[in-house]
Structure 1
Amino acid sequence: MAEGAGLDYRLVQRSVRPPRAVTLVCSEGNWRADVLRMVECYARTWGGDGNGLIACSPTWEISEPFWRLAEAFDADHWAVFGPTGRGLQLSDPQAYEERLSSIVRQWARENDADEAKTREMIEPQFLSSSGSGPVAPPELGDRIRRRMAPLASAQVAVTAVFQADEAPPHRLVDMCTLTYQPARTTGLDTGGLPPAVQLLVVARTGLVAPGHLARLRERGDVDHATVPIDRKDMAQVLRFAWTGRPDPDVGYAGQAFLDDMPLAQSRLGCSWFTAFSPDLDSAPAVVMCGDSAEDFCYAYTRRRVAAGETYWLPVGPDDGDLGKDLYTEFGRVLYDLAAHPASDRAVILSSLTLGTDQLHEVRNRLLATPWGKMASSGAPSRIKMTICAPADLPLRRDVHLLDEVHFGDTLHEPFLGTDQARNVEIPLPSKAVGVGPDSCRWQVDVQDPRNVLPARWALRDVITADGPSYGARSSTSGISFDSHGRLFTLAGASLSQRLVQVRLRFPTAREVFTTLLERAGVTLEESDKGRYTRRMIELWGDFTALAADLKAGPAADLLSAWISSSKQQGRVYQGRKYLTLADVCVLTGGSEEAARLLLDRYQQRSIAVRGLLLTCGQCVGTAFYRLEDIGPGFRCQRCRQNNQIVRSAWKGQTLEPQWYYGLDEVAYQGLCSNIHVPILALAILAESAKSFQHMPEAVVHRTGYPDIEVDLWAVIDGRIVIGEAKISDRLEQTNHKEAARCATLRGLIEDLSADEFVMATAGPGWSGRTEAMVNERLAPAAKISWLTGLR
């Protein structure tokens, strides 16, 4: 909290939601079976429909597009799927029996034991044969914590393990431990359909595992109603899997049947909400092509993140007879998109496994279907189908699974500076109720729309007012915390006694940057330019007012004249220029009244000072004397002689002394240091931002490296932005120095996990050498933005 900070009130938004998880699934082996088991696990997890999947290799490698998706998804918990004997038993009973029998026979033979008794002893262990589950390497955890903020320790980031037909891991909520008891669960029996189609359907509906159903039936009667799907129903079931809308003449068209599907039931008391955006209706439909774990998982997770539908089209080189059905029916989906009120709908084909030529073939085959021909012909509208690499897909967090009652609650909260003055009120979920105080836990998101923080794990210690809080994190939805985030509670404590007590803190931009860099052993110190900028913002009242006066216009012309050495307007003494009201009228090109109002505003804020230009009678030194420094006479600044204010003191002027106006010294130094370039650059960046926080120029200290001054520091809508602001068109004067500068800046970008690097100049453009150097050295680490003509 800032020293001496006064009490004020902020409008913050509060939402309640289930904990959100993303699970790593191995992309090799029988990955389809693993995915089916994971969807069963999610169907048993409260909020499971909002959870995501990420495909990884057996050596824990994750393709780059998944990292961008994971950042947007912003999971509270990272998990891994642990293969077990039970999972094998569910997916392939024959293989299970063969493997178990082999183990039993070998053990019985080696120990001269009865096979039946040996089986009784070994089978329970074999069913849960993965033990504690796979352990992710530390390098994976380091990368997760670098650009995300899971509820994880400094040692372990992947904290949970899902296993087939088992309850969700700790800190996720088991639907079987809630008071909710469904009368039935529904589903589609797709056992006779190709595996890819089974996955498409399950991704839409979910699955109930045998153990899940058994636990529900322990508490009461539960009907498990399924509709068998035959090969002749392929067309209808494919369209339902892609769109969620069944044909009216099929057996699962009723809304009550759809509401009782496992993933739908996992949304107990919650609904999908879409963040408002003016371009929401124009969000493209994304089609992930390829019958692979990577493409399936990417489509599955992206549908829970981004507005605009995301489809999985499981086509490949050997799709056989299934390919005809897939292309024909997805062509019909495209036709329905073309009939959407938003005409000229964009459709993007992408893949993590198919090459560009293969995607062009997919596009041509889709457009060659009868439905595809109509969709592309302009009847009723036109589909624009393009091909895009996964890394270039538009991606931002637009959809959220939130409690139906507590979503976007607007609270008028008291704050002392950056700190909330009282504990956050923890609302209860509207329908999810645990059978015990610890049976149900949830996340509370509190966001200050004017101060959106970056989602970074390193900020966990500065987002609560009373020190580090167990279960709090800086997320893409604001400050998120676990409802049961207390470290210790007494046995037998009630639910209200177990709920977390926390006062939130929204740190300044400087605290954010300082905290992020401390982990890398880097320190910040405000530079001279930074002090000038901070003082000028204080003089003008706020950043917006200063930026407005520095933009081209009358105020900017006046400020430029005050630091100019030209004697065309005003008088120059001791390197400083002083202007009369008439001078200001000429410089600003306006009326005397407008000039008077501008000068009055500057005087009231101490930006400009009024005084007289007087000449000493002894040393004949002329200087500017502020109004508060003179009375009946004045004391010479050079020889310290006391003088009367008489005609000889204002020689060369009119019959009465003329009022002159000088510029505050800090403002003068700031303008001479060209701070208008970073200020104008930040103003441009702030124009379209909903949340904008910044700090002035600062010097970066890293042991063993030369200090560097960085001009632009901002947190814009939760994104970390830094950059350079120059008068010239080059970073440095020589190629060698420019390369060294880029290397240092690259290190800073990585230490900060910056999202964007801005290159701003007052000139009309950057030199070709600088552009090439920056694109080569910095573009791989962050988005590069170019701003020019900042005068």
Structure 2
Amino acid sequence: MADEFRFVALRAFARPPRLLVVVPYVEAEWVHWAAAGLGALSQVWGGCAGAVVPASVVAHPSLADLMRRMQPDHVLAYTPSGATVEAIRPGVIDQMVGDLEGEARVQSEAFVRAEPWHHLEALEVEQAAAGLRERLGVNATPEMAQETHLFDDPARARLTALTDVGIRPVLGVPFPLVSTPSALAYAARVGVDLDGAAADSRIPEEARWQEGVTQQASTSLLDWLHPSSPQDTLAMLDPTAARCARLERDRFQAEPVVVLGDRPEDFALAQLANLVHGPCMWVPWPDPSAMTITGRFPRWRGTGLPRVTSASMPPAEVEARMHTMWERRPRAFVDGEEVDNKAFECVPVNDLRTSGQSLYVHDQAWDLPRSLPATILPDGSLEASLGLPAEVPPGLDPTRDKWQVLLVAADHPVPPHRVLTGEALYAQRSNPWETFVRAADGGITYSSHRFDFVPKGASLAGTLAAPRLRWPSLPSLLAMAAAPHPVQSSPAGKRTAVAQRLLGSRTALENLADGPGWDLLKTFLPRQQHPSQPKDAWWALKTSVVMSFRALAATPTKPEWTTLQRRAQVDEWTRQGVLRRGLALGCQECPAFEFYPLEEVTQHYRCRRCSADNELIHERWKTDTSEPEWYYELHPAIAELIDKNADVPLQATRHLRQQARGMRLLVGAEFEILRDGQPFVEIDFALAGADEIWLGEAKKGPALGENHRDIKRELGKLLNGCKTVAAHRLILATAAPQWNTATTTVARQELHGLHTAGKYTPDIYLLSAVGTAAPTLELLTPAQT
């Protein structure tokens, strides 16, 4: 198996790095610091794909999932220049230069303005950024991180400047004008110019800032601030200005979001929601006009109503504010009846969910077909035998600019997980210091340039990265995610592995479980009734039940199989080893009848019970016929799977894979997680897609346990297992029409308790009526207080 090769079909993308910038938080100055961070981000190529987060809200529970789904490449601590600090805190440079006079004072002031300022809040920013890197597992090694700081000068941070890449002039909101949340809300849409200035007569009023936030176009206010700008000028955060395009993947459906509230967490929420969910409008003023929501989001591509939320206000307050606004709307009447088509819905932040992914890519270097020869490892992982040749995207300079390379394999997704970085994704015998590698966007991404030893005068191929990569299998991923707790296949998982090997794939096994063949094979189990079969066509021996083809042909199936279909299927199962063809023979010295596979049958055979030698003659076979009849025995692993109701998890994963959009899901069979050498939880199935890991529990009946205590204990184990591997969903699957009330009540209470305590909480989905024509999958909501 280790020497087996295949070619991995890849799609290659070039994109700017995604930056998550942590800025200082001072209550009276937080808008200014946020604007300064936006200004530094606006100058970087790919700032449109980044976000700014005040240090005070890095650990805010409403932002954790959004920051994970943003999948930043670098978490940077913002370090402003002296000039920026002077704009926020006038007079600090005077205090710095002290009593210097004349030319010495001029030079000192110029130096302090240009150099990074190590302000009092720097330690808080550093700690917040370091904790966020650890939590998200961004592009770093245990020894170092590639980029750690963002300065007002992009070159100082070894990042590509927007002006180096763009071909059109860009403008943003002059930094001194961003002094209120409303101005910050508009600046977050178009960018901030740290060096820009505006005449006092052109300082907008609050109403104009609010108009700029709520209107469809984002440039009219910018034109007003810069009346002499060229006609082809673009906003600094316009993707077009950075040679970028927003790409929607895995059937991404943009869902508009409106964020209320004027706090730092609302500012961060709006930026992250814009990257993860689609178009977002931040409304930090308390009394929006009646047409604010309906005017900006009448219907966004038919995706439905915009959802209104807040990170600083409870849902009830959001609902009350929006209700007041809606009551002030202009009334519309049709045939004398008032039309009350409510154009929004209020939801908690944790209820924001969008299918698929979106990302900003280089507009001329994305979705490029590539192929690599790969070795299939014993655990199912793939290792590239070669590295892709380095290529430079159009318009970029490899001696000056940096970019990210993304490789996506449609049939082998790599979910973003904090353990999937560095050596976890390098092929064996690779150089782990060649470049920073991690899982992102359903594939593997790495920095374009080498950061190990690069000799002076090296060629282009010698300066750009071309790593040999590894696509981990799901068992390998789960083992790394659960460390230091060992993961091993459960007895059911081992039986499933045998069945998959016989049938050729997990898909074939799932199709067997969901088709008439499962019921047909079920007749091989002991203690089964066979009223439709001829009595002399099957025998219950001591070791197994054997069937003749006459018995299999008489067994009813749904849908019904013809005799020819049954004959072809039995031959296929025999070829695969699911069934073994042979004879039921007795012994001349003991009365035991046993099944002897075809390959063991000769004119002379030895009794399995007493080892007596026998001849293949009329007296030895089971029936009183002139010639013996072929019988079939079911493989023990398949028989045990059927006996243990393994069709439920198999049908569950089959349904989930059919519902998955875009990239194929990786599926894993039953496994156990050990603690202190003993299994503490058994998981019936696992799935991994482009952005999440799902774990599942499958039951034939409608309950996790017999009583409240059993249900709570079993659910606690499952949630603990999800936490151990950092799974994002827990799927509870049942063949019953629905889960019973006791199970759903306990699950809702557990969710509510975890949410209230701010602890790790996976989404719980209920999959019911598994194996029927219409299974249902629904998200379980927490219990309400």
Q: Tell me which interval the TM-score lies in, with the shorter structure as reference length.
A: 0.7 to 0.9
- Residue 528 of structure 2 aligns to which amino acid in structure 1? S
1:627–1:114 Cα change, 3 Å: closer
- Is the contact made by 1:204 and 1:241 (CA closer than 8 Å) also made in structure 2? no
Pair 1:242–1:512, CA change in 2 (3 A): farther
Give 3-state SS (helix, strand or coil) of 1:363's partner: helix
Q: Distance in 2 between matches of 1:295 and 1:472?
A: 32
Query: Structure 1 residue 9 and structure 2 residue 3: aligned?
Result: no
Percent identity between the two aligned chains: 19
The SS at the match of 2:123 is coil
| Superposition deviation, residue 772 in structure 1 | 4.1
Structure 2 alignment gaps of length 5 or more: 377-381, 755-760, 772-785
Which of residues 163, 170, 186 is equivalent to 2:157? Answer: 170
Equivalents in 1 of 2:647, 2:523: separation in Å? 14
What do the CA deviations read for 1:769-791 (whole angstroms, capped 9, x no partner)?
44444444477421122334546
Q: After superposition, give the CA deviation of every residue in 1:594-636 in whole Å (9 maximum; x if it has no partner).
A: 2211211111111111122222233232222222222234432
Shift of 1:483: 0.7
- 2:319 pairs, out of 351, 360, 369, with 360
Matches within 5 A, 1:167-246: 167=154, 170-175=157-162, 178=164, 184-187=169-172, 195-210=180-195, 238-239=211-212, 242-244=215-217
2:141 matched residue in structure 1: 153
How far residue 751 of structure 1 moved from its aligned partner, in angstroms, is 2.2
CA distance in 2, matches of 1:270, 1:230: 31
Distance 1:250 1:139 in 2: 37
Distance of aligned partners of 1:256 and 1:453 in 2 relative to their CA distance in 1, 3 Å threshold: farther
* Distance of 1:79 and 1:652 partners within structure 2: 81
Q: Which residue of 1 aligns with 2:349?
A: 390
Q: Distance in 2 between matches of 1:381 and 1:731?
A: 44
Q: 1:665 to 1:188 in 2, by over 3 A?
A: closer
Of stretches 250-259 and 501-510 in structure 1, the one that deviates more from structure 2 is 250-259
1:552-582 Cα distance to aligned partner (Å, 9 max, x none): x421111111113235342100141111222
Q: Does 1:565 align with 2:527?
A: yes
Aligned residue number for residue 432 of structure 1: 396
Q: 1:445, 1:477 within 8 Å by CA — same for their partners in 2?
A: no
Instruction: Select 2:415's aligned residue among 454, 477, 489.
Output: 454
Under a length normalisation based on structure 2, what TM-score does the superposition of the two structures give? 0.84
* CA drift at 1:242: 4.3
- Quote the Cα distance in structure 2 between the aligned partners of 1:688 and 1:421: 33
> Which residue of 8, 18, 21 maps to 1:20?
18
CA gap 1:672/1:276 in 2 versus in 1, 3 angstroms: closer
Give the aligned residue type for 1:170.
A
Out of 469, 472, 497, which is 2:462 matched to? 497
Counterpart code for 2:117: S
In 2, Cα distance between the equivalents of 1:726 and 1:305?
A: 34
Q: CA deviation at 1:195?
A: 2.8
Q: 1:64 to 1:336 in 2, by over 3 A?
A: closer
Q: Specify the alignment match of 2:780 in structure 1.
A: none
Asked if 1:269 corresponds to 2:237, the answer is no
What secondary structure sits across from 2:673 in the alignment?
strand
Q: C-alpha distance in 2, partners of 1:183/1:762?
A: 60
Which amino acid letter does the alignment assign opposite residue 458 of structure 1?
V
Task: Between 200-209 and 48-57, report the one with greater CA deviation.
Answer: 200-209
Instruction: Provide Cα deviations, 1:225-271, integer angstroms capped at 9, x if missing partner.
Output: 99985759956982576423556997689996364333338843222
May I ask how many residue pairs the two structures share in their alignment?
A: 739
Question: Are the counterparts in 1 of residues 583 and 631 from structure 2 also a CA contact under 8 Å?
Answer: yes
State the secondary structure of the residue aligned to 1:338.
Answer: coil
Instruction: Determine if contact 1:15/1:444 at 8 Å carries over to the other structure.
Output: yes
Unmatched 5+ stretches in structure 1: 214-223, 317-322
| Partner residue of 2:123 out of 125, 134, 138 | 134
Q: Residue 288 of structure 1 aligns to a residue in which SS? A: strand
Q: What SS does the aligned partner of 2:276 have?
A: coil
Query: Is 1:696 aligned with 2:669?
Result: yes
- Deviation by residue 1:185-227 (Cα, 9 ceiling, x = unmatched): 44566977973443233223223332xx8xxxxxxxxxx9999
The residue aligned with 2:547 is 579
TM-score using structure 1 length: 0.83
Alignment-derived partner of residue 598 in structure 1: 569
The aligned counterpart of 1:78 is: 75
Whole-angstrom CA distance in 1 between matches of 2:16 and 2:229: 24
Residue 502 (structure 2) pairs with residue 539 (structure 1): yes
Quick check: 2:166–2:243 contact (8 Å CA) kept in 1?
Answer: no
Measured in 1, the distance between the counterparts of 2:229 and 2:571 equals 69
Distance 2:175 2:592 in 1: 99
Q: Per the alignment, do residues 69 and 714 of structure 1 end up closer, same or farther by CA in structure 2, a change over 3 Å counting?
A: same
Q: Which AA in structure 2 matches 1:534?
A: A
Note closer, same or farther for the CA distance 1:249–1:102 as it changes in structure 2 (3 Å cut): closer
The root-mean-square deviation of aligned C-alpha atoms, in Å, is: 3.8
Q: Alpha-carbon deviations, 1:328-377, whole Å to 9, x = none?
A: 5625xx246437773x84021111123334423432344345568699x9
Q: Counterpart amino acid of 2:90?
A: Y
- Higher mean alpha-carbon deviation, 12-21 vs 664-673, is at 664-673
Task: Indicate if the aligned counterparts of 1:510 and 1:694 stay in contact, CA closer than 8 A.
Answer: no
* CA distance 1:379–1:449, change in 2 (3 Å): farther
Q: Deviations over 1:116-165 (max 9, x none)?
A: 9678657845874316943557687456544x3311233777952334x4
| Alignment partner of 1:311 out of 265, 269, 281 | 281
Aligned CA distance change for structure 1 residues 476 and 227 (closer, same or farther; 3 Å): farther
Tell me, in whole angstroms, the C-alpha distance in 2 between the residues paired with 1:253 and 1:580. 90
**1-side partners of 2:128 and 2:198: how far apart?**
45
Residue matched to 1:218: none
Residue 527 of structure 1 pairs with residue 490 of structure 2: yes
Give the Cα separation in 2 of the matches to 1:256 and 1:237. 25
In 2, Cα distance between equivalents of 1:142 and 1:189: 32
Structure 1 letter corresponding to 2:72: A
Cα 1:399–1:694 shift into 2, 3 Å: closer
Relative distance call for 1:740 and 1:366 in structure 2 (3 A) is closer
CA distance in 1, matches of 2:102, 2:230: 49
Is 1:35 equivalent to 2:34 in the alignment? yes
